[in-house]
Amino acid sequence: MQSAFSLSFSQSSLTLPNRPLCSPNAAPRNLRFCGLRREAFGFSPPKQLNSCRFQVKNRRIEVSAAAGGNGAPSNKSFDYDLVIIGAGVGGHGAALHAVEKGLKTAIIEGDVVGGTCVNRGCVPSKALLAVSGRMRELQNEHHMKSFGLQVSAAGYDRQGVADHASNLATKIRNNLTNSMKALGVDILTGFGSVLGPQKVKYGKDNVITAKDIIIATGSVPFVPKGIEVDGKTVITSDHALKLESVPDWIAIVGSGYIGLEFSDVYTALGSEVTFIEALDQLMPGFDPEISKLAQRVLINPRKIDYHTGVFASKITPAKDGRPVMIELIDAKTKEHKDTLEVDAALIATGRAPFTNGLGLENINVATQRGFIPVDERMRVIDGNGKLVPNLYCIGDANGKLMLAHAASAQGISVVEQVTGRDHVLNHLSIPAACFTHPEISMVGLTEPQAREKAEKEGFKVSIAKTSFKANTKALAENEGEGLAKMIYRPDNGEILGVHIFGLHAADLIHEASNAIALGTRIQDIKLAVHAHPTLSEVVDELFKAAKVESPASTTPQSVKAAV
Amino acid sequence: MAASSSFLSTASLSNPKSTISFASSVSPAPIPSLRRVVFRSPSSRRRVMTIRSKIREIFMPALSSTMTEGKIVSWIKTEGEKLAKGESVVVVESDKADMDVETFYDGYLAAIVVGEGETAPVGAAIGLLAETEAEIEEAKNKAASKPSSSAVVPSPPPATSSPAPAIAQPSPAAAASDGPRKTVATPHAKKLAKQHKVDIGSVAGTGPFGRITASDVEAAAGLAPTVTPPPPPPPPAAAPAPTAKATTTSSPPLLPDASIVPFTAMQSAVSKNMIESLSVPTFRVGYPVNTDALDALYEKVKPKGVTMTALLAKAAGMALAQHPVVNASCKDGKSFSYNSNINVAVAVAINGGLITPVLQDANKLDLYLLSQKWKELVGKARSKQLQPHEYNSGTFTLSNLGMFGVDRFDAILPPGQGAIMAVGASKPTVVADKDGFFSVKNKMLVNVTADHRIVYGADLAAFLQTFAKIVENPDSLTL
């Protein structure tokens, strides 16, 4: 179980073979990965290509209509054009795009707007990581000395740190709510469920109809059997983000994104950490080379040890003067291996879809391990393998790629489809990031995945690597530790995957993810200019280091420039 | 010792033929060149004439200053394969990176002593290199006869992302279990134990639930506990220390209910300075000073905000102006460093700490300015806002315990200064003058500790005499 969940990212990306990177009617211009943009209309590209002009004009008209109150349903027989169940980042992204497209939209939320990401996930954890990054820097005398800085002992106030996280969540939640209100999205309060085709119930007994329905109910922390969560000494990320205590010694079960980020937070705040990983290696799902380097930087020199290839079969919270007890069994033989005694345990074994009580039985949909089965267009598949008309599922609930911005992108993709433009999201162009210090980011395939694919399809794979050690900006920051790695096809210059470990890696990945999304080839992008000195030159170097056999294409852009 | 003679320096590369290398191995570079396989003769090291060095040991190179052991990631060459000078032979994983290690001899990889995935300490033989094909067999026998001795250590837990699930987690705690009490050590404690070569099983745990914490290991290793040690532990401790430290590992266990409180940053700074002070040869000279006049002056200026500290600092400053050698310091053991300013540092105790705010130009500032300055510094010290130059620019230190009734004490000379003055309480004392008349005078004992490399007994005596004169005729202090 544990391994299945921590691997879900790599598995899902493996199961999506070779989708066309750019099809003419899937202009990725409309793909916005950030579900947190504050207003829908702030974005207007300064210059549109001729072919797009008509569409843009059209959109503006719709916009003004929509801004006048979320319009009226285009089909009078429905209350709404689109109803979204779940106001997390996925639902929010879909709602904003739907209004932009002129759909009368409602969003149903049974808990708080913002979902996991904003309230119990990415957002508050970034606040904690912002603190841990600074603490780490201030505590590192050697690092400070190399700047010529002198800092007396750095300390922190736990409540102050916790408040920063909760304040940030509140602020982002308000931004999200306001952005939807401002556009006239109806926010309906209460748990939503599907009553039948195109019919949704929310709260006690409010029934509404909609032409299309998107399920975006997200996920909750997954707790394996045998683990007793008491919320104090045995906790999930939901509790950990409140930072009600900083234990001296905490075991983290699972060494994926969540576990890694929390190890960064806890060790910076003075805890010692023991990782428990079911697979034979820490950080499964990352490119092996990156995880090896990451382990050298993020694990080995810190107060962290680990047990790999083991399950935590039983975890008992601290009570009656006893510490938290963790029974470890071998992941393969299931034999008892060890018993750990620690002050606290954080369960970061992945996330389970939150799909109970959705009324799926009403439309004959059976979940798979809780996930709602969907096709590549996020259309829900019923128990007979048939598509359920007008019903879509995005985000963690479908389990394709459990990332906030993936949910949002899927939502936008669905809205594109229901407004008459076929669209298939290329999941291999969705970047992922882990916000440790330094950060880890990636897009596309890992090297082993790429090699496997290359073998199957008979093409050659090359690797380009650059180091942060050679980057002026990184050295100025005394942060030369880091590696960027690109996996590509030398024959046509296609980027298959990019993995970055180093300062601000999470921000650097987008050049690569955009190139993959837009189908830009290395021989073209390598001619683009990067400001000096910036960290982006690490990626620039990567493109320039690649040896591609095909010549640069003559793009309309460059022709224009030549004239 | 052995290191510099047995390691072959890069310089000798130009002489690829065996024996010469050992003659030239006394050449400068003491550290084996990075990224090169380091060779040494398996037979006697120094005898130039032994031409038995045709089979060489390839041993684990030190790839970084902090590296104590390395893991063989992969052998690029297989046994029996021919090697050319400069070719990569093996990939070694250190604490920092994977590196290709090259040979700088032609020959044959005769035997692999430490296999892939195994770990060997720096300097241990990991393979054998034969010069000719004929010698391969001999080398193999040699390898077989010494069953990899110290070299092969199964990969220890925190070292690596080990590929073999079998060795995934034989945590030391588990191994040592089934005793009367299971040994529980925190991750940091285990790392420190490994770093300082402390046997974790022999450490008494004083942490919660009897677990072994980092400070227990530090205590066992005879180290001062550090406050929030920065992630990469400073290298110096790694290499030379362990041998010396190893003997002290079994320090007496703590009493059962003792509690361990790690130093704050300030306390560790004090500790560090105090240890450093041991390297300076110091001596002490005491002097009784009559304070009747000073006390009278103090009563007069007290309402104007003048403190006793300011008075003493001013007096010391003025005396120092006349005896610059006492205000000097010895930086390198070879010369006097005369300071152009007289900056009197005054030791102050603040909740659990000790800091020395500095009254700069104590000889030049007037009493009132000094007193004002002092108040400001003490305020800053309490709120931990002192800037570095406000506590580390002292050229002379004053420490006064008189207010506690201490009659005399002995101060430790802070590193970087020439002298420190310890001031006791001023007490009514019966004195007989030269005519034999008894009288009662207020006397205070002043004791100065100085660096004897630059300050000699007569210097100190003269300085104290001047100081006493100033204190006994304190009018000059108010000028």
Chain B residues in contact with A140 (beta carbon < 8 A): 230-231
pLDDT over 60 at A557, yes or no: no
CA dihedral B77, B78, B82, B83 (to 10 degrees): 30
pLDDT class for B159, splitting at 50, 70, 90?
Answer: very low
CA end-to-end span of chain B, whole Å?
63
Return d(Cα A269, Cα A56) in angstroms, integer: 50
Cis peptide before A533 (omega within 30 of 0): yes
Parallel/antiparallel/unpaired status of strands A272-277 and A249-253: parallel
pLDDT over 90 at B145, yes or no: no
Average pLDDT, chain B: 74
Query: Hey, are the CB atoms on B265 and A152 less than 8 Å from each other?
Result: yes
Query: Hey, are the CB atoms on B184 and A341 less than 8 Å from each other?
Result: yes
Chain B residues in contact with A323 (beta carbon < 8 A): 208-209
- A457-466 mean pLDDT: 95
Identified catalytic residue from A97, A142, A499, A532:
A532
Distances (CA, A) of B138 to A392, B113, B144, B342: 73, 14, 10, 74
Query: Hey, are the CB atoms on B207 and A248 less than 8 Å from each other?
Result: yes
Return d(Cα A316, Cα A15) in angstroms, integer: 37
Lowest mean pLDDT, pick from A14-28, A166-180, A488-502, B381-395:
A14-28
- CA A283 distance to own-chain centroid: 16
Lowest mean pLDDT, pick from A233-247, A286-300, B140-154:
B140-154
Return d(Cα A185, Cα A98) in angstroms, integer: 9
Chain A residues in contact with B228 (beta carbon < 8 A): 139, 153-154, 270
Which among A37, A83, A79 has a CA at the least distance from the CA of A408? A37
Return d(Cα A1, Cα A224) in angstroms, integer: 7
Select the highest-mean-pLDDT range: A545-554, B17-26, B339-348.
Answer: B339-348
Coil, strand or helix at A352: strand
Q: B161-179 pLDDT, tens per residue?
A: 333 333 333 334 433 334 4
A372 is in an annotated binding site: no
Complex ipTM tops 0.85: no
The answer to whether the beta carbons of residues A407 and A395 sit under 8 Å apart is: yes
- A64-90 mean pLDDT: 77
Q: Which residues, listed in sequence order, are joined to residue A487 by a DSSP beta bridge? A: A463, A497
Of A152, A302, A307, the CB nearest to B171: A307
Return d(Cα A112, Cα B79) in angstroms, integer: 66
> Using CB atoms and an 8 Å cut-off, which of residues 142-171 of chain A contact chain B?
142-143, 150, 152-154
Lowest mean pLDDT, pick from A335-344, A434-443, B300-309:
B300-309
**Threshold 0.95, pTM exceeds:** no
What is the residue-wise DSSP string for A192-214? EEEEETTEEEETTTEEEEEEEEE
pLDDT class for A562, splitting at 50, 70, 90?
Answer: very low
From A309's Cα to the closest Cα of chain B, the distance in A is 6
Choose, out of B99, B186, B266, the residue to mutate when testing the contact with A (most A CBs < 10 Å): B186
In this structure, what are the phi and psi dihedrals at residue A340, rounded to the nearest 5 degrees? -105, 145
Amino acid, single-letter form, for residue A261: E
**What CATH class is the domain B55-177?**
mainly beta
Q: What pLDDT was estimated at residue A471?
A: 93
Query: Hey, are the CB atoms on A248 and B158 less than 8 Å from each other?
Result: no
pLDDT class for A400, splitting at 50, 70, 90?
Answer: very high
Which among A98, A15, A19 has a CA at the least distance from the CA of A371? A15
From B3's Cα to the closest Cα of chain A, the distance in A is 28
pLDDT over 70 at B149, yes or no: no
Q: B89-124 pLDDT, tens per residue?
A: 888 876 666 777 877 778 888 888 888 878 888 888
Of B95, B98, B265, the CB nearest to A300: B95
CATH 2.40.50.100 domain residues, chain B: 55-177
Lowest mean pLDDT, pick from A197-206, B157-166, B433-442:
B157-166
Chain B residues in contact with A305 (beta carbon < 8 A): 157-158, 171, 187, 190-191
Q: What pLDDT was estimated at residue B166?
A: 36
Lowest mean pLDDT, pick from A156-165, B344-353, B397-406, B466-475:
B344-353
- A160-176 mean pLDDT: 95
Tokens 């046997």 locate to B199
pLDDT class for B260, splitting at 50, 70, 90?
Answer: confident
B37 or B245: which carries more pLDDT confidence?
B37
A72 or A172: which carries more pLDDT confidence?
A172
A256 or A561: which carries more pLDDT confidence?
A256
> Using CB atoms and an 8 Å cut-off, which of residues 217-246 of chain B contact chain A?
227-228, 230-234
The answer to whether the beta carbons of residues A487 and A461 sit under 8 Å apart is: yes
Lowest mean pLDDT, pick from A167-171, A263-267, A336-340, B433-437:
B433-437
Chain B residues in contact with A328 (beta carbon < 8 A): 169
> Does residue B262 belong to the interface with chain A, where contact is any CB pair within 8 Å?
no
Chain B residues in contact with A249 (beta carbon < 8 A): 186-187, 211
Comparing alpha-carbon positions, the chain A residue that sits nearest to B268 is: A153
Q: What pLDDT was estimated at residue B44?
A: 40
**What CATH class is the domain B268-478?**
alpha beta
Choose, out of A147, A151, A249, the residue to mutate when testing the contact with B (most B CBs < 10 Å): A249
pLDDT class for A266, splitting at 50, 70, 90?
Answer: very high
Lowest mean pLDDT, pick from A432-446, A517-531, A533-547, B384-398:
B384-398
Q: What pLDDT was estimated at residue B225?
A: 52
Q: What angle do CA B33, B35, B40 make, to 5 degrees?
A: 60
Q: Is the dihedral of CA B229, B232, B234, B239 positive or negative?
A: positive
A272 is in an annotated binding site: no
pLDDT over 60 at A507, yes or no: yes
Q: B287-336 pLDDT, tens per residue?
A: 999 999 999 999 988 888 888 888 999 999 999 999 999 999 988 888 88
> Does residue A332 belong to the interface with chain B, where contact is any CB pair within 8 Å?
yes
> Does residue B440 belong to the interface with chain A, where contact is any CB pair within 8 Å?
no
> Does residue B383 belong to the interface with chain A, where contact is any CB pair within 8 Å?
no
pLDDT class for B88, splitting at 50, 70, 90?
Answer: confident
Parallel/antiparallel/unpaired status of strands A105-109 and A324-330: unpaired
Comparing alpha-carbon positions, the chain B residue that sits nearest to A327 is: B174
pLDDT class for B65, splitting at 50, 70, 90?
Answer: low
The answer to whether the beta carbons of residues A142 and A58 sit under 8 Å apart is: no
pLDDT over 80 at B9, yes or no: no
From A210's Cα to the closest Cα of chain B, the distance in A is 52
Query: Hey, are the CB atoms on B231 and A140 less than 8 Å from each other?
Result: yes
> Does residue A138 belong to the interface with chain B, where contact is any CB pair within 8 Å?
no
> Does residue A280 belong to the interface with chain B, where contact is any CB pair within 8 Å?
yes
Lowest mean pLDDT, pick from A198-207, B54-63, B186-195, B371-380:
B54-63
Return d(Cα A82, Cα A145) in angstroms, integer: 58
Q: What pLDDT was estimated at residue A423?
A: 94
Structural domains present in chain A? 80-221+352-419 (3.50.50.60), 234-349 (3.50.50.60), 428-545 (3.30.390.30)
Return d(Cα A269, Cα A325) in angstroms, integer: 23
Select the highest-mean-pLDDT range: A545-554, B8-17, B385-394.
Answer: A545-554
Query: Hey, are the CB atoms on A249 and B96 less than 8 Å from each other?
Result: no
- A202-223 mean pLDDT: 94
Portion of chain A with pLDDT greater than 70, in percent: 85
A298 is in an annotated binding site: no
Q: Which residues, 6 or more positions from A245, have their beta carbon under 8 angstroms from its beta carbon?
A: A158, A232, A344
Which among B53, B40, B48 has a CA at the least distance from the CA of B8? B40
Q: What pLDDT was estimated at residue B224?
A: 60
Return d(Cα A14, Cα B75) in angstroms, integer: 32
Of B96, B182, B266, the CB nearest to A296: B96
Identified catalytic residue from B188, B196, B323, B452:
B452
Q: What pLDDT was estimated at residue B113?
A: 85
The answer to whether the beta carbons of residues A322 and A306 sit under 8 Å apart is: no
From B177's Cα to the closest Cα of chain A, the distance in A is 9
A119 or B99: which carries more pLDDT confidence?
A119
- A349-355 mean pLDDT: 94
CATH 3.30.559.10 domain residues, chain B: 268-478
Portion of chain A with pLDDT greater than 90, in percent: 75
> Does residue A305 belong to the interface with chain B, where contact is any CB pair within 8 Å?
yes
Return d(Cα B23, Cα B10) in angstroms, integer: 13
Comparing alpha-carbon positions, the chain A residue that sits nearest to B165 is: A280
Comparing alpha-carbon positions, the chain A residue that sits nearest to B190 is: A305
pLDDT over 60 at B423, yes or no: yes
Of B96, B191, B265, the CB nearest to A153: B265
The answer to whether the beta carbons of residues A212 and A197 sit under 8 Å apart is: no
Of B157, B214, B388, the CB nearest to A150: B388
pLDDT over 80 at A530, yes or no: yes
Query: Hey, are the CB atoms on A301 and B227 less than 8 Å from each other?
Result: no
Helices and strands (H and E) in chain A: how many:
18, 23
Q: What pLDDT was estimated at residue B4?
A: 39
- A365-380 mean pLDDT: 95
A–B interface: beta-carbon pairs under 8 A: 99
Structure tokens at B150: 């110290």
Lowest mean pLDDT, pick from A86-95, A531-540, B286-295:
B286-295
pLDDT class for B433, splitting at 50, 70, 90?
Answer: confident
Select the highest-mean-pLDDT range: A12-21, A494-503, B155-164.
Answer: A494-503
Choose, out of A3, A149, A152, the residue to mutate when testing the contact with B (most B CBs < 10 Å): A152
Of B157, B159, B264, the CB nearest to A153: B264
Q: What pLDDT was estimated at residue B97?
A: 66
Q: B262-282 pLDDT, tens per residue?
A: 777 777 778 888 888 888 999
Q: Is the dihedral of CA B95, B101, B105, B106 positive or negative?
A: positive
- A188-201 mean pLDDT: 94
- A453-469 mean pLDDT: 95
- Rounded to the nearest 10 degrees, the angle between the axes of helix A89-100 and helix A404-418 is 30
> Does residue B84 belong to the interface with chain A, where contact is any CB pair within 8 Å?
no
Q: Which residues, 6 or more positions from B45, have their beta carbon under 8 angstroms from its beta carbon?
A: B2, B5, B6, B22
Q: Quick check: is A510 catalytic?
A: no
Chain B residues in contact with A152 (beta carbon < 8 A): 265-266, 384
Return d(Cα A50, Cα A52) in angstroms, integer: 5
A243 is in an annotated binding site: no
Comparing alpha-carbon positions, the chain A residue that sits nearest to B169 is: A307
Average pLDDT, chain A: 86
Q: What angle do CA B6, B11, B15 make, to 5 degrees?
A: 85
Q: What pLDDT was estimated at residue A508?
A: 97
